[in-house]
Structure 1
Amino acid sequence: MLLAKELKKRGWKVEVFVLAQGGMLAEPLARAGIRVIHGFQRSSASASSTSADAKSGATPKTHLRVKAMLVLAAFATSLVVRIISTRPGVVHAWLPLTNFVGAVAGRIALAPLVISSRRSLGTYQERWPRLKRMDRVANRLSHVVVANSHAVAADTAARDGYEVDRIAVIPNGLDLSRFDEIGHRRDETRRRLGLNQDEIGIVIVANLIPYKGHEDLIEAFALATEKRSNLKLFMAGQDRGIGPELAKQAQRLGVGSKVHALGTQDDVPGLLAGMDVGVIASHEEGFCNALMEKLTAGLPVVATKVGGNPEAVSGMPGCVLVEPRAPADLARGLLAVLDRLPEPAVDQEFRQRTMRLRYSVGAMVDAYERLYLAGDR
């Protein structure tokens, strides 16, 4: 969305083509004057297939597979028609399923430049092997493959047998203007969260999903509190089913009163303004926006050594990398950062300034414009 909106401001004609109607980004795109095309609506074809499957006694698994193929075919056909009718200079697809459809449709419709995007490590291929085959097809049919970190580029090359030198690396961009005034919000946030002046707030912003490492973090936090009793841990993110188990774990380890699940937060910059240390405990990442937000807020961060995390914290003072799935090492990293508090103000300022230089929306869009224009020639 950030890329689309900024391209629109710079005079590009932009359309967003999506699989299904709705979604939280539809309204801001519409306000920016960007047309959103819905590639598939439930059709008589899908309805008739349901009826036919029922009559023929098809198994639910077979029915779902047939229905998924029909949806995908309808989506791809709609996209081919749209490309032929509008003749865009660039067809740029994002995420595994749409990479496949975008690359196939773009080539069939003879689009001048077809780009697919790898936004994460390919571990999802282990869970859904069919996507591995689709990724390889998308790679072959794309004129350019873009990764959002060097780690993702290397992973793509290794998993898909693709030459790493052919992958363009363009890091994520952040709307850094959201962080402009957070320096004045620390006291307000701490009062709201019940953080006393002598207490240290540790924060993780990640949906409650197993691979985000909350279980490791709670164990590491319990170890750290044995040496530092003035710690509180705040977990911001939607509970995807593991919240109750995490609460039981915290109680079992004797830190139940110090671990606070905040749920989804609309104002992440405001939350980070009241914190002292940020954590990324993930077992896998592509290029972590939550890590970028913590650094932009000026926080020292303890991050697992996965995906693009080492790239994001490279050269950042006060930040520590730890092994994934290793609570003891995570506790070590936490204590190393805590021992530096209060840290020099210049370290916080350096992290904030560096993030603005490296990862602004403007820098990201500049890189994509260069790619689009070079390919267009």
Structure 2
Amino acid sequence: MTGNAAVRVVHVASGDLWAGAEVQVYGLVTAQRRAGMDARAVLFNDGTLYRRLRSDGVPVTLLDETRLGAPRLLAALWRSLRRARPAVVHTHRRKEHVLGALAARAAGVPVSLRTVHGADESAPPAAWQFHRRIAAGLDAWCGRRLQKATVAVSGELAGRVAAHSGGRPPRVVENGIDAAAVRAAAAAPVALPGPADAFRVALVGRLVPVKAPERFVAAVAALPVAAAGQPVHGYVIGDGPLTAAVTDVAARAGVADRLHVMGFRDDVPACLRRMDALMVTSEHEGMPTNVLEALVLGVPVIAHAVGGLPAVLGEGRYGVLVRDPDPAAFAAALSTLAAEGGAARRRAVAASGRAAVRYDFARVAAGYARIYSELLREAQPASAATEVREP
């Protein structure tokens, strides 16, 4: 068989959040379908990802993990794959890697692979360490024994996960962006708190330890006024277990009036477009979607030089890299950027076209099509091999 129409791919994802990994799953699935591939999804939660895929006409099976324990969830996933009979099962995030790999093997699916979107979001309490080691060991075993490939979203992340890829070097397919959709969403009206003349800097993402949101609060606290006399206001867009801690840190730092915790938003592009800068203070990142969104919108980026961030920012050509994790270093970078005035924005706008082309989802889909084809050729006899046509 040849051609994408013959290749059925089932993506297995949680769908509990609408964060970077979920945005990437949505963009990849829809890009694959535009390219003629029969891309589908099995999700474990009824959330934004489920609703968006359904509204786009994507076949989606919902296996509600809030009602099914792990054994029943695994059995339900096995039944779903037996009915769908995909050529490829593509998993996203740890629990889905394990359940998807086990169910795919039991259902006789020729190829199962995983995408690793980033490092673990948080360290569990000490009492959970034993259970975490068991889960990590099972995940690593599934990656080595049951799945044909590990894909990382940045070269740096590929190096981190190499030990769990069964002796096969991890592949790299960088994250994608639908620039036209982001720009259209950014045009929507949005009301932001704070004075109209404020110098606005945003932190976007889940409020979990790896994102180091307290570092962002401290940086905003260290710079009350920008070079042109504008008051500096911080905007925290996202929620998570550290929401209350962020509010408390802001109060203790005396910046509660300049630090706006906005919670989860489904209009992030519209908020970003009205920012003077995006700041990324994380301890680690794969290739964050919010940075790609900022780039295509021409919003200057200040980012910790970790993970895939140096690569996506061209080692500092397309944004400001901060190599010192001290909040004072982020405040200094913010002060310098603010002092540049319109020059920083003009540089960011000039780089937006490159980002729109380099990270287009059609390229992401093409990268995965090549991997699927190679793995299917290895898994099937030559007479029955399936070639996946690139978009």
Read off the aligned partner of 2:304 and give its amino acid letter.
T
Q: Is 1:29 paired with 2:33?
A: no
Read off the aligned partner of 1:180 and give its amino acid letter.
R
Question: Which of residues 143, 157, 162 in structure 2 aligns to 1:157?
Answer: 162
2:17 corresponding residue in structure 1 = none
Name whichever structure is richer in helix by fraction. Answer: 1
Structure 1 residues 109-140: Cα deviation after superposition (integer angstroms, max 9, x where no partner): 33221111211124758752222112211211
2:384 corresponding residue in structure 1 = none
Matches within 5 A, 1:129-140: 129-140=133-144
TM-score (norm 1): 0.80
1:65 corresponding residue in structure 2 = none
TM-score (norm 2): 0.78
Structure 1, unaligned stretches of length 5 or more? Answer: 47-70
Write the distance in 2 (CA, Å) between the matches of 1:315 and 1:350: 16
Native 8 Å contact 1:119 1:148 kept in 2: yes
Distance 1:316 1:330, change over 3 A: closer
Write the distance in 1 (CA, Å) between the matches of 2:157 and 2:118: 6
Native 8 Å contact 1:102 1:116 kept in 2: no
Q: Is 1:4 paired with 2:29?
A: yes
Write the distance in 2 (CA, Å) between the matches of 1:359 and 1:273: 19
Question: Which of residues 27, 37, 44 in structure 2 aligns to 1:19?
Answer: 44
Distance 1:78 1:339, change over 3 A: same
Q: CA deviation at 1:143?
A: 0.8
Matches within 5 A, 1:1-377: 1-20=26-45, 22-39=46-63, 71-122=69-120, 128-140=132-144, 141-158=146-163, 160=164, 162-163=166-167, 166-180=169-183, 192-197=192-197, 199-225=198-224, 228=227, 229-314=229-314, 317=317, 319-323=319-323, 325-343=325-343, 346-377=346-377
Structure 1 residues 255-278: Cα deviation after superposition (integer angstroms, max 9, x where no partner): 332222222222222212221111
Read off the aligned partner of 1:177 and give its amino acid letter.
A
Write the distance in 2 (CA, Å) between the matches of 1:331 and 1:81: 53
Write the distance in 2 (CA, Å) between the matches of 1:114 and 1:161: 13
Q: CA deviation at 1:328?
A: 1.7
Q: Secondary structure of the equivalent of 1:367?
A: helix
Q: CA deviation at 1:300?
A: 1.4
Write the distance in 2 (CA, Å) between the matches of 1:184 and 1:75: 41
Structure 1 residues 45-99: Cα deviation after superposition (integer angstroms, max 9, x where no partner): x8xxxxxxxxxxxxxxxxxxxxxxxx32222233333333433111111110111
Native 8 Å contact 1:16 1:35 kept in 2: yes
Read off the aligned partner of 1:19 and give its amino acid letter.
F
Distance 1:209 1:221, change over 3 A: same
Read off the aligned partner of 1:220 and give its amino acid letter.
A
2:14 corresponding residue in structure 1 = none
Q: Secondary structure of the equivalent of 2:342?
A: coil
Native 8 Å contact 1:313 1:319 kept in 2: yes
Greater relative contact order, per chain length (Cα 8 Å cut-off, separation 6+)? 2
Native 8 Å contact 2:201 2:279 kept in 1: yes
Read off the aligned partner of 1:334 and give its amino acid letter.
L
Distance 1:124 1:78, change over 3 A: same
Native 8 Å contact 2:337 2:344 kept in 1: no
Read off the aligned partner of 2:35 and give its amino acid letter.
R
Q: CA deviation at 1:279?
A: 0.4
Residue identity (%): 23
Q: Secondary structure of the equivalent of 1:375?
A: helix
Write the distance in 2 (CA, Å) between the matches of 1:28 and 1:183: 18
Structure 1 residues 310-358: Cα deviation after superposition (integer angstroms, max 9, x where no partner): 2221155362222464212222222232232221665123321121112
Query: Which of the pair has more CA radius of gyration?
Result: 1
Backbone CA RMSD of aligned residues: 2.9
Distance 1:142 1:41, change over 3 A: closer
Length, aligned pairs only: 344
Read off the aligned partner of 1:256 and give its amino acid letter.
A
Write the distance in 2 (CA, Å) between the matches of 1:41 and 1:346: 47
Q: Secondary structure of the equivalent of 1:171?
A: coil
Structure 1 residues 280-304: Cα deviation after superposition (integer angstroms, max 9, x where no partner): 1112222211222222221111111
Q: Secondary structure of the equivalent of 1:303?
A: strand
Native 8 Å contact 1:285 1:306 kept in 2: yes
Distance 1:139 1:303, change over 3 A: same
Distance 1:248 1:106, change over 3 A: closer
